[in-house]
């Protein structure tokens, strides 16, 4: 709900239909920015890199990044097990 210059109360859906989409996008963006904004490179990734891509490519890039992160975590886990086995055998 918002009040226009004349004091009339309107629901955002009564205004232009695209405004509701913009308001919804902003409501999703701001909490994400507050939550992840401390990470180095997050703002550049969200505001410079991703907006230039169509949604399908963004989903593919996001999946590739998550698979890479998961792969690295598994590698660290295997390296930790290997190191533990190496030191326990001595």
Split at pLDDT 50, 70, 90, the class of 29 is confident
Average pLDDT over residues 70-80: 97
- DSSP, collapsed to helix, strand or coil, labels residue 1 as coil
- Report pLDDT digits (tens) over 52-71: 888 899 899 989 999 999 99
Quickly state the pLDDT bin for 7 (edges 50, 70, 90).
low
- Pair (6, 36) in one structural domain: yes
pLDDT at 41 over 90: no
- Structural domain contains residue 47: no
Query: Looking at the predicted structure, is the pLDDT value of residue 50 above 90?
Result: no
The total number of structural domains in the chain stands at 2
Same structural domain, 58 and 81: yes
Q: Which residue range forms the structural domain that includes residue 69? A: 53-90
Phi, psi of 42 (to 5 degrees): -65, -45
Q: Are residues 33 and 61 in the same domain?
A: no
- Whether residue 46 lies inside any domain: the answer is no
Q: Are 61 and 53 in contact (CB under 8 A)?
A: yes
- The number of CA neighbours under 13 Å toward the Cβ of 2 is 9
CA dihedral of residues 74, 45, 28, 14 (deg, nearest 10): -150
């Amino acid at each position: 709900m918002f009040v226009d210059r004349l004091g009339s109360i309107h629901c955002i859906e009564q205004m232009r239909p695209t405004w509701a989409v913009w308001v919804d996008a902003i409501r999703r963006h701001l909490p994400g920015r507050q939550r992840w904004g401390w990470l180095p490179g997050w703002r550049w990734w969200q505001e410079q890199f991703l907006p230039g891509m169509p949604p399908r490519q963004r989903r593919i890039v996001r999946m590739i990044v998550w698979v890479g992160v998961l792969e690295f975590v598994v590698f660290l886990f295997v390296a930790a097990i290997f190191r533990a086995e190496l030191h326990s055998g001595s």
